[in-house]
Amino acid sequence: MVRYSFIVFCVSFMLACTLFSNCDASHDNPKLYIVYMGSLPKTPYSLTYNHLSMMQEVFNDVDATNSLIQSYQRSFNGFAAMLTNQQKEKLSQMEGVVSVFPSRKFQLKTTQSWDFLGLPKSVNRSRAIESHVVVGVIDSGIWPESDSFNDQGFGPVPKHWKGVCAGGTNFTCNKKIIGARYYIDKSARDLNGHGTHTASTAAGNYVDNASFYGLAQGTARGGVPLARIAAYKACDDSGCQSAAILSAFDDAIADGVNIISVSLGGYSQDPFDEDPIAIGSFHAMARGILTVNAAGNEGPNPISTSSVAPWMLTVAASTIDRRFIDKVVLENGKTLTGISINSFTLNGTQVLIAKKNGGPNCSEDDANACNCLDSNSVNGKIILCDRGHGILEDDVNPAGVIIQSRRKGSPAFVTPLPSLSLSITDFQLLKSYTNSRDNPKAEILKSETVTDDNAPTVIGFSSRGPNTIAPEILKPDISAPGVEILASFSPVVSPSDYKFDKRSAKYNIISGTSMACPHVSGIAAYLKTFHLDWSPAAIKSALMTSAKPIKSSEDEIGEYAYGSGHVNPIPATNPGLVYDISLEDYIQMLCNLGYNNEKVKLISGKKNACSQPPNRSLVRDLNYPALAIDVKPTTSFTINFNRTVRNVGLANSTYKATILPNPRINITVVPKILSFKFVGEKLSFTVTVIGDKPTTTLTSSLVWSDGTHNVRSPIVINVSD
Ligand SMILES: *[C@@H]1O[C@H](CO)[C@@H](O)[C@H](O)[C@H]1NC(C)=O
Ligand SMILES: *[C@@H]1O[C@H](CO)[C@@H](O)[C@H](O)[C@H]1NC(C)=O
Ligand SMILES: *[C@@H]1O[C@H](CO)[C@@H](O)[C@H](O)[C@H]1NC(C)=O
Ligand SMILES: *[C@@H]1O[C@H](CO)[C@@H](O)[C@H](O)[C@H]1NC(C)=O
Ligand SMILES: *[C@@H]1O[C@H](CO)[C@@H](O)[C@H](O)[C@H]1NC(C)=O
Ligand SMILES: *[C@@H]1O[C@H](CO)[C@@H](O)[C@H](O)[C@H]1NC(C)=O
Ligand SMILES: *[C@@H]1O[C@H](CO)[C@@H](O)[C@H](O)[C@H]1NC(C)=O
Ligand SMILES: *[C@@H]1O[C@H](CO)[C@@H](O)[C@H](O)[C@H]1NC(C)=O
Ligand SMILES: *[C@@H]1O[C@H](CO)[C@@H](O)[C@H](O)[C@H]1NC(C)=O
């Protein structure tokens, strides 16, 4: 039996913890845990030996060697081990341990998209500089033979590169893919397609005339076609273990990547010291490497993003101006238009049926939903299915499938046979037509592309804020194209993700925040070529403050969908001002969030971590390029945000503050004018927000402008009990 579902997004990697395994230990069987120990010690010594002796201490007389699964010791300190609950408890009390948490399964979450973003092929690039940038991709591996990873014209690997090509059996690197490692399976080869798609979106080379069976035809390329790629395989079809994600970060940071792209995520907002992506990206940030992370595909529910740490850049998914439609033409000449990415054509009209026989054990409702079907009644016919969630038996072979779509604003999916989904209205129209005729017939056409003038809008599945771990940090940070994106794929994987679909595609069209994330990774790498010395926070600030606010639906707070707005690459290269954040600032924030001094000392590797007593109300003074805060309903409030900007534009420039008015709040900026004499100069200001008995979330924005640069920050006052 093959699941035939139109509800899953792209390649779906499900989590294990809540679905497959019982997370609370009723039996004390050993389970895989992460023992996180913070920064590397200043004086080098054998950490493996240290990890083993800690293990031995809790294992008593039993040999612990085989239970130590992985030592992290290149970029941060810690290990993964099989532990019983009792051993875990003992270890978490030991000196030097920050946190012990179970390893969980994380979900792995183009042609036109770059033009739509305003980064055309003709954009100014320097091969000399761009070819020094290495984008590290933590994903399901890579298909090294893809045209997108052709290394023609590439020079020797950059001098700073310290990685290796350890891709396993039958895996060769070249001057484009300069590094490969794997922490699952027997090679870094991508047997899923996801990792190849994301890596080629971030940094794939130019490939002319790429398409999916002629659809979305054009030149495929990544954000930095001249940059190098290092692939770290931490995921397979079933997802990615925390332990493997941490191994990938440990290596990528030490190997010398310049940007880390992570198109995967969890399902909950976890404390920073129990979230492998937050831990890995913290140590990356401490070494000057920005991590870009997908927001997740759990939207549009609020609080659905699991990517909440301030040192990473969290990316939501939005539409581009190219969408896919598909048409069904009835015998009477009438045409109904739905959506799908259908590369098939029917040989003329075929019989349409709405009533289907599902066999002896199938209820009428299940048969209508195509959950169970009898081959005699459906083979060779176009069937109508009430729900986009059904099962096609292996021996069932309909000519086509038309599905009623109950979700508005879903993306189109690659279909394994001639198929499309129709709106409820059109589906019901087609159903009555079918039922009213003796021998109704129709033809399903091949999909075509149309222009969507509404783009960009954030797609429904993209995970939303707010951030409950640190409400002062607005999440997600930015949106980027993540809907119906064409990029390189693994030719051994079914492009529709259905086993009976035996097609092999070099390029595939998929949707997800997983596709949005590498767009921003590519742009961050592009920025890096202009500003080699900028900190991760400065690059992040440039991307956020130049982002364009976008349309959002009436019934949600847009900032919780897209953060600062839609990524805008060219203005980001010249942002005028940046909000920078140092490692020390993040450390102070951890103290103020309530992480105790011992923990923060271990995490940061600094002696005097929390020098001042923790003060929660100072968290909002982290120099973040967005302003957010929780307030209690039905009270009045006065909130100050302190910020400092650095002039990265021209000497002798004067910036004036503008506030987008919101009648429910009064916002003042002091001073209102910032006059910079020289480049690199820093000036501070305070934003005061005064409100009275708010009942709903209030938003505004602050723009610093010198007439050329508009440096924009959203302001979000969240009302929360
Ligand atoms: C392209 O970039 C180089 C180096 O950054 C710069 O000197 C040159 O002026 C740029 N050209 C254009 C057309 O922007
Ligand atoms: C190596 O992998 C490629 C791509 O899958 C395949 O075509 C080739 O046959 C493989 N070679 C060996 C020796 O397995
Ligand atoms: C471009 O690709 C299409 C579809 O794969 C193919 O039919 C066509 O011949 C190709 N054109 C060129 C110029 O290679
Ligand atoms: C259409 O007809 C051609 C030629 O008879 C055949 O090869 C092809 O498989 C048919 N396509 C479908 C979708 O039935
Ligand atoms: C129908 O269900 C009954 C009871 O579960 C089972 O015994 C029988 O084998 C099923 N028949 C078919 C054709 O699946
Ligand atoms: C915390 O910081 C706020 C804002 O600067 C200040 O008003 C308050 O007094 C501080 N609280 C403590 C306990 O130091
Ligand atoms: C915030 O800025 C104001 C005005 O410059 C200053 O008085 C205050 O001390 C600052 N607060 C903090 C916590 O730095
Ligand atoms: C900035 O202004 C000062 C004073 O007017 C002047 O001396 C200096 O040359 C100016 N710098 C630049 C780069 O224009
Ligand atoms: C904003 O300021 C005006 C003028 O001082 C005042 O009338 C109004 O009540 C204030 N609004 C809020 C929400 O504080």
Strands 441-444 and 322-330: antiparallel
Q: Residue for token digits 């040999």? A: 63
**Token representation of residue 165:** 């090509």
- Per-residue pLDDT of 162-185, as tens digits, reads 999 999 999 999 999 999 999 999
pLDDT score, position 17: 22
Selection from 633, 610, 620, 635 nearest residue 686 by Cα? 620
Q: How far is CA 581 from the centre of its chain?
A: 23
Quick check: is 248 in a domain? yes
Contact 182, 168 (CB under 8 A): yes
- With the C-alpha atoms ordered 310, 716, 559, 697, is the resulting torsion angle positive or negative? positive
Rg (CA), the chain: 26
pLDDT score, position 95: 93
Identify the three-state secondary structure at position 686: strand
CATH of the domain at 307: 3.40.50.200
> Do 461 and 345 lie in a common domain?
no
Residue finishing a domain among 541, 572, 603: 572
> Do 280 and 365 lie in a common domain?
no
- Per-residue pLDDT of 465-483, as tens digits, reads 999 999 999 999 999 999 9
Tell me the pLDDT band of 447, cut-offs 50, 70 and 90: very high
> Do 216 and 126 lie in a common domain?
yes
Contact 370, 385 (CB under 8 A): yes
Quick check: is 164 in a domain? yes
Quick check: is 3 in a domain? no
| Whether residue 597 has its Cβ less than 6 Å from ligand 3 | no
Integer Cα distance of 138 and 203 in angstroms: 14
> Do 217 and 308 lie in a common domain?
yes
Residue 652 Cα to ligand 8 middle (Å): 6
Residue 699 Cα to ligand 9 middle (Å): 16
Question: Mean per-residue pLDDT for 45-70?
Answer: 91
Integer Cα distance of 293 and 516 in angstroms: 9
> Do 180 and 294 lie in a common domain?
yes
Q: Residue for token digits 């600062």? A: 564
> pLDDT over 70 for what percent of the chain?
93
Protein residues with CB under 6 Å of any ligand 9 atom: 664-666, 690-692
Number of compact structural domains in the chain: 5
- Per-residue pLDDT of 665-687, as tens digits, reads 999 999 999 999 999 999 999 99
Integer Cα distance of 534 and 554 in angstroms: 38
H-helix or E-strand spanning residue 404: strand 400-405
Specify the pTM.
0.92
Burial class (CB in 10 A: 0-12, 13-18, 19+), 617: exposed
What ligand has the least distance to the C-alpha of 616? 6
Between 201-215, 551-565, 705-719, the lowest mean confidence (pLDDT) is in 551-565
pLDDT score, position 20: 24
Integer Cα distance of 243 and 66 in angstroms: 16
Integer Cα distance of 525 and 316 in angstroms: 18
- With the C-alpha atoms ordered 426, 430, 433, 436, is the resulting torsion angle positive or negative? negative
Nearest CA to ligand 1 atom 14: 124
Integer Cα distance of 417 and 315 in angstroms: 32
Residue 349 Cα to ligand 4 middle (Å): 12
What ligand has the least distance to the C-alpha of 717? 9
CATH of the domain at 345: 3.50.30.30
Q: Per mean pLDDT, which of 13-27, 370-384, 507-521, 542-556 is the most reliable? A: 507-521
> Do 411 and 317 lie in a common domain?
no
Helix-helix angle 276-286:583-592, to 10 degrees: 140
Residue finishing a domain among 405, 432, 449: 449
Protein residues with CB under 6 Å of any ligand 6 atom: 615, 617-618
12 has a pLDDT exceeding 50? no
Identify the three-state secondary structure at position 376: helix
> Do 246 and 390 lie in a common domain?
no
Residue 638 Cα to ligand 7 middle (Å): 14
**CA-based angle 589:591:594, to the nearest 5?**
110
> Do 401 and 333 lie in a common domain?
yes
Between 149-153, 280-284, 405-409, 516-520, the lowest mean confidence (pLDDT) is in 405-409
What ligand has the least distance to the C-alpha of 617? 6
- Per-residue pLDDT of 392-423, as tens digits, reads 666 788 999 999 987 777 899 999 999 999 99
> Do 563 and 610 lie in a common domain?
no
Q: Residue for token digits 């003074």? A: 621
Tell me the pLDDT band of 113, cut-offs 50, 70 and 90: low
Nearest CA to ligand 1 atom 12: 124
> Do 568 and 605 lie in a common domain?
no
Q: Residue for token digits 């508009």? A: 710
21 has a pLDDT exceeding 50? no
Quick check: is 698 in a domain? yes
Integer Cα distance of 509 and 512 in angstroms: 11
Quick check: is 1 in a domain? no
- Per-residue pLDDT of 121-144, as tens digits, reads 777 788 888 999 999 999 999 999
Question: Mean per-residue pLDDT for 303-309?
Answer: 96
Which amino acid is it at 48? T
| Whether residue 208 has its Cβ less than 6 Å from ligand 3 | no
Integer Cα distance of 484 and 516 in angstroms: 10
278 has a pLDDT exceeding 60? yes
3-state secondary structure 633-671: CCCEEEEEEEEEEEECCCCCEEEEEEECCCCCEEEEEEC
**Token representation of residue 692:** 């009275």
pLDDT score, position 621: 97
Nearest CA to ligand 6 atom 6: 617
Quick check: is 704 in a domain? yes
> Do 154 and 286 lie in a common domain?
yes
Residue 628 Cα to ligand 9 middle (Å): 20
Q: What positions carry a catalytic annotation?
A: 139, 194, 514
Between 163-172, 286-295, 381-390, the lowest mean confidence (pLDDT) is in 381-390
11 has a pLDDT exceeding 60? no
CATH of the domain at 715: 2.60.40.2310
Residue 284 Rama label (left phi>0; alpha psi -120 to 50; beta): alpha
Query: 426: domain range?
Result: 324-449
pLDDT score, position 181: 98
Selection from 309, 257, 248 nearest residue 603 by Cα? 309
Nearest CA to ligand 6 atom 1: 615
Quick check: is 577 in a domain? no
H-helix or E-strand spanning residue 516: helix 513-530
Residue finishing a domain among 56, 84, 106: 106
CATH of the domain at 65: 3.30.70.80
> Do 375 and 419 lie in a common domain?
yes
Quick check: is 6 in a domain? no
CA dihedral of residues 325, 516, 197, 296 (deg, nearest 10): -100
